[in-house]
Amino acid sequence: MTINDFIEELSKIGIELDDKKLSNLERYFELLVEWNLKMNLTGITKKEDVYLKHFYDSLTLMKVIDLNKVETLCDIGTGAGFPGLVIKIVFPEIKVTLVDSLNKRINFLNEVIKELKLENIETISARIEEYGVKNREIYDIVVARAVASLPVLLEYAIPLVKVDGYFIAMKSSKDELNDLKDIYKKLNIELDKIVTFLLPFENSNRALMKFKKISITNKVFPRKYVEIKKKPLR
């Protein structure tokens, strides 16, 4: 995906980029490649692939929610900042929280934030389930990009979401949606929307699953990591 392709494909989903945003994304790419030489941030470093598989892919959230209307967003298991940091660059008005358990990734994210002079964005070095215990019902949107199985992601994410807010799982398929109705009842959520599509140029499968939070989450969730791993919600 060339820069021109990137701009054109984003325009198809309602995203327009100015020179500052393009410049910030380019610098983000440069720092990603630079830091990747000394630590494993991503296996994708070719410019055309980063713009397609990381930058464009992150922004496909616009297919299920208008990011222009979002005030607060939390990206759990953000890794090298996908999708949360990309969203912050393109939608600077959103207050973004990036959560990851590895401090070395947080150091990288902090460097990008400092370099680009981004405001109203914070990084949290913590396990997601521990962060969720103390930060309940505070985000309009919580997102995750394929960091765990869907039942596990739902237990991690839903406690963080405001009532009437949304959790969006970014996956390669919607297969994991089977037999989740009991989990919906336990977490007080409903499936709001599913969008499946092919990533441009390479035609790999993508699925965006949007869950709405109906009422406050029972305080037994999220459970401790050992419990979640041993007995995922069913």
pLDDT tens digits, 171-201: 998 888 887 889 999 999 999 999 999 999 9
pLDDT beyond 90 at 234: no
Type of residue at 71: E
According to the model, what pLDDT value does residue 142 have? 98
0.75 surpassed by pTM: yes
Q: By residue range, what is the domain housing residue 123?
A: 3-230
Percent of the chain with pLDDT strictly greater than 70: 100
pLDDT score recorded for residue 122: 98
What b-and-e string marks burial along 46-64, b requiring 16 or more CB atoms within 10 Å of the CB?
Answer: eeebbbbbbbbbbbbbbbb
Q: Give the count of domains, the chain.
A: 1
* Residue range 17-42: mean pLDDT, rounded: 96
Tell me the pLDDT tens digit for each residue of 105-147.
Answer: 999 999 999 999 999 999 999 999 999 999 999 999 999 997 7
69: DSSP letter: G
Distance between CA 204 and CA 221 in Å, rounded? 34
CATH number at residue 191: 3.40.50.150
Q: Whose CA is closest to 169, among 196, 203, 188?
A: 196
Kindly provide the residue ranges of all beta strands, DSSP E only, lying in 109-225, ordered along the sequence: 121-125, 139-145, 161-171, 189-198, 205-213
Angle of helix 103-116 relative to helix 19-36, nearest 10 degrees?
150
Q: Are 44 and 54 in contact (CB under 8 A)?
A: yes
Tell me what the mean pLDDT of segment 86-115 comes to. Answer: 97
Q: Which of 52, 38, 110 is nearest to 81 (CA)?
A: 110
